[in-house]
Amino acid sequence: MPEPKKQVLVINAGSSSIKFTLFDMANERVVLDGQIERITLPGWKLDYVLEGRKVSTQGPDTLAHRQALEKVFERLGSEGGPVTGPEDLFAVGHRVVHGGERFSEPVLINEAVKEAIRDLFPLAPLHNPPNYEGIRGCEELLPGVPMVAVFDTAFHFTVRKRAFLYAIPYELYEKDGIRRYGFHGTSHRYVALEAARLLERENDPTFKLITCHLGNGCSMAAIRGGRVADTSMGLTPLEGLVMGTRCGDIDPAIIFHLIREKNMTPEQIEEMLNKRSGLFGLAGIGSGDLREILPAADSGNELAQYAIHVYVYRLKKYIGAYTAELQGLDALVFTAGVGENCPRIRAGACEGLEQLGIEIDWERNQANAAVISPDGAEVTVLVIPTNEELMIARDTLKTVGKEGRGAEA
């Protein structure tokens, strides 16, 4: 009898795109990786890489999420592809952004889990609905294949009340769940595990590190012994660091000022703070991408220069605050697009923090080395590429194995 396949498909369904990665979990090899874009808009486009071969296809029509998934599965099974039917998959892992206070770990999806994800729509109106549609579509198209939900918020479940409560009437937490949840948890967890492995501190309850996920969205976490003590994002992914288009921390009275003085609606303000603020709003060059803002700053654009200064200053503030919360620091980790590839931002964030034991080796930093601190430094500064998809695949494999293939949570 042939060995059952250990192929795990990871789905990240957004409002206008679905990213997908197929893993052979016998050796954690990526079999296929891609995304379908412009869902719900005219003119969809599907791009993927299969065994090193790039493939693109597109169409003029408008697709809903289920129809987009049909296109994905058509390509997965075409021309001798790796998934011709449900029997070729061990399980599907779904990224779900918000798990609220109910989900502290990945779970096998059943009707109760789907209902809970729907109940959390008000806390994540931009993310949980498309995540839910991705789950429904996969269930219909892949009957009998176990589905696992892996929540962005779950890794931050260990944050204590003193760090997650807002200083607003307590009943808003009790009745409405308004509190800090934190996001990017899968990324923070992956690089925290990798840092512990690299520094031979696995299962060490005294290991103190700060993880900096710096992409278009940015967040940080203070982690002690593998448990999150604090994290920068809040009720939504808007709070915390300066990001590509999101504002991060602001005085909430700004919102009331804009309503009164600028006659802006709540919807207009929400759109501005999420899509036209951050680096995009500060730099004034029509982009929130540091790959465009840094050259503009070097060319003398003062607004672009200020954008970088504000971005780096906020990073430094959080590093200092989290070092105080942890009562010391063993390692500082940079990850995601900016964190992994921008020596200038890493150097700026660490500049002047020598009194905390944080130093940068210039040559190592320029080379994007795994360790960018000097030998013998008190704090090891690391650059670790994140791999959220692999973390989701691992969690999916473990959850299905624990619950039993096809069982209900």
The catalytic residue positions are: 152
d(CA 319, CA 42): 44
d(CA 342, CA 136): 38
Place of tokens 């604090």: 230
Which element (helix H / strand E) includes 259? helix 253-262
Across 286-341, the runs of DSSP E, i.e. the strands, are 331-335
d(CA 326, CA 40): 45
Are the C-beta atoms of residues 1 and 15 closer than 8 Å to each other? no
Count of other CB atoms within 10 angstroms of residue 150: 28
Residue 263 Ramachandran class (φ > 0 left, ψ -120 to 50 alpha, else beta):
left
Paired tokens of 134: 């991705």
Q: How many CA atoms lie within 13 A of 320 on its CB side?
A: 13
- Specify which residues 95 forms β-bridges with: 150
Place of tokens 């990240």: 12
| Residues whose CB falls within 8 Å of the CB of residue 407, separated by 6 or more in sequence, listed in order | 108, 146
d(CA 8, CA 392): 9
